[in-house]
Amino acid sequence: MFKEFIARYENALVNDVIPFWEKHCIDHQYGGYFTSLDRDGSVYDSTKYMWMQWRIVYMFGEFYASEYKKDNYLEIARDGFDFLYNKGRASDGSYYFALNRAGEPVISQYNVFSDCFAAMGAAEMFRATREEKYYNAAREAMDSYLKRIASGNPAGVWNKSMPARQSYLALGHYMMIANLALVMKRGLGISDYDRDGAAALDLVLDKFWNEEHQVVFENILLDGTFDLESCQGRMLNPGHVLEAMWFMLDYMQESGNDSRREEVLKIIEATLKFGWDKEYGGIFYFMDVLGKPHLELQHDMKLWWVHNEAIIACLYAYKVSGRKEFLDWFKKLDDWTWSHFPDPEYGEWFAYLNRRGEPTHMLKGGKWKTFFHLPRCLYMSVKLMKEMQQ
């Protein structure tokens, strides 16, 4: 059933996406990676954004441990790790947001997701090599991430919010805990974070889902209620929700406890329905649950990662449920995504399309796009489809 899809996804991964990054992202002079890559792979800015850097370590580590293994994948990941671990870590074990090309920190450690992606990259390196230094680096970064989230103030001294400001719990923080717990389990072979992962899963399903509006909110009040009076409270991020939901299915599969599977399937379907642009196709970036104006100028754009995560969510949902609606959604998404994002001329995919699906930028990588969502989508999709073929 998936034969053509598997061939197409695997071909893109092996003959297009991995080679594009292998060829263009390595900074042979200073170490680390270039991620600001123009349409043809040329470098248009050499700032080393830590999220983007660590995600490359993670992905090349993952491919080294996969059926697509090549020896140089480990070298690429190892060299990056050394650069990032040595240059990118602040004295408290947290990670800066950005380094300059030479590796000097240029933007502070205000953003907690630098720690998150460092933990993922290091854990994947341990899985690939079993070398203790990677294990320790992964634990250190993971503990920093969890501690900062638990503090209620992950931005630390760079937090611009004042005491009177309405505080929210953010979906992104908890969805990443569920994913990280699994990465630690698989990468480090430990169960130390199982409770954190299970608690995050329950929190998202118990609190962030709103039955009345049939949506998962991006931000909820600290007491678990919803804030429909402010832009922040009404905000939806369908791509985030779909990513979170396949993390949940993945977590359930690993833990063997799928008691909440039906809730996850319901959320995936509701999010696809709510997020799909009925006029031009594709999934919106940001939405307001009541259709009021969105703060972000780019809210109606179509982003590659949103569609990558949606494809994985559909395939995972179809695999665990066998329900035809998820297969239909997958085909619809596959069709829109593949007819709008790939760049037939220079390879790899465009990142940013306007609402109509026309590219607004020619970049293949930047401050927010790197070797991560797209290769992970292709890889996970091939894996899920092959499992279903058998």
In the complex, minimum distance from the CB of residue 194 to a second copy, in angstroms, rounded to a whole number: 34
Residue number with CB closer to a second copy (261 or 355) = 355
Residue 367 binds a second copy (CB under 8 A): yes
Chosen residue from 104, 202, 328, 335 binding a second copy by CB under 8 A? 104
In the complex, minimum distance from the CB of residue 222 to a second copy, in angstroms, rounded to a whole number: 15
Chosen residue from 14, 22, 107, 260 binding a second copy by CB under 8 A? 107
In the complex, minimum distance from the CB of residue 89 to a second copy, in angstroms, rounded to a whole number: 14
The phi, psi pair for 359, rounded to 5°, reads -60, 135
**Alpha-carbon distance values, 272 to 258, 286, 332 (Å):** 22, 13, 11
Q: Collapsing DSSP states into helix, strand and coil, what is residue 365?
A: coil
In the complex, minimum distance from the CB of residue 293 to a second copy, in angstroms, rounded to a whole number: 4
Residue 294 binds a second copy (CB under 8 A): yes
Query: Segment near a second copy (CB under 8 A), from 23-31, 325-333, 348-356, 378-386?
Result: 348-356
In the complex, minimum distance from the CB of residue 49 to a second copy, in angstroms, rounded to a whole number: 11
CA angle 276, 59, 349 (to 5 degrees): 45
Angle at which helices 171-188 and 238-255 pack, to 10 degrees? 30
Residue number with CB closer to a second copy (166 or 339) = 166
Residue 80 binds a second copy (CB under 8 A): no
Residue number with CB closer to a second copy (1 or 297) = 297
In the complex, minimum distance from the CB of residue 336 to a second copy, in angstroms, rounded to a whole number: 19
287-291 contacts: CB < 8 A, separation 24 or more? 287/235, 287/236, 287/237, 287/238, 288/231, 288/234, 288/235, 288/236, 289/210, 289/213, 289/215, 289/217, 289/228, 289/234, 289/235, 289/236, 290/228, 290/234
Within 10 angstroms of residue 164's Cβ, the number of other Cβ atoms is: 5
In the complex, minimum distance from the CB of residue 306 to a second copy, in angstroms, rounded to a whole number: 13
- Rounded to whole angstroms, the Cα distance separating 252 from 232 reads 30
Which of 354, 353, 331, 332 shows the shortest CA–CA distance to 342?
A: 353
- Nearby residues of 338 by Cβ (< 8 Å), 6 or more positions away: 8
How long is the chain? 390
Q: Are 369 and 35 in contact (CB under 8 A)?
A: yes
- Rounded to whole angstroms, the Cα distance separating 223 from 88 reads 36
In the complex, minimum distance from the CB of residue 331 to a second copy, in angstroms, rounded to a whole number: 28
Residue 157 binds a second copy (CB under 8 A): yes
Residue 108 binds a second copy (CB under 8 A): yes
Residues in a beta bridge with 288? 235
- Structure token digits, residue 352: 């940013």
Residue 362 binds a second copy (CB under 8 A): yes
Q: How many residues bind a second copy (CB under 8 A)?
A: 44
Residue number with CB closer to a second copy (256 or 291) = 291
Chosen residue from 80, 281, 366, 375 binding a second copy by CB under 8 A? 366
Residue 66 binds a second copy (CB under 8 A): no
Chosen residue from 11, 225, 298, 389 binding a second copy by CB under 8 A? 298
Q: Are 371 and 36 in contact (CB under 8 A)?
A: no
**Alpha-carbon distance values, 86 to 97, 192, 273 (Å):** 14, 26, 45
In the complex, minimum distance from the CB of residue 225 to a second copy, in angstroms, rounded to a whole number: 18
In the complex, minimum distance from the CB of residue 104 to a second copy, in angstroms, rounded to a whole number: 4
Residue 158 binds a second copy (CB under 8 A): yes
Within 10 angstroms of residue 174's Cβ, the number of other Cβ atoms is: 22
Residue 229 binds a second copy (CB under 8 A): yes
Residue number with CB closer to a second copy (111 or 179) = 111
Residue 97 binds a second copy (CB under 8 A): yes
Q: Collapsing DSSP states into helix, strand and coil, what is residue 382?
A: helix
Query: Segment near a second copy (CB under 8 A), from 50-58, 94-102, 137-145, 312-320?
Result: 94-102
Interacting residues with a second copy (CB under 8 A): 36, 38, 44-47, 96-97, 100, 104-108, 110, 157-158, 160-162, 164-166, 229-231, 292-295, 297-301, 352, 354-355, 360-363, 366-367
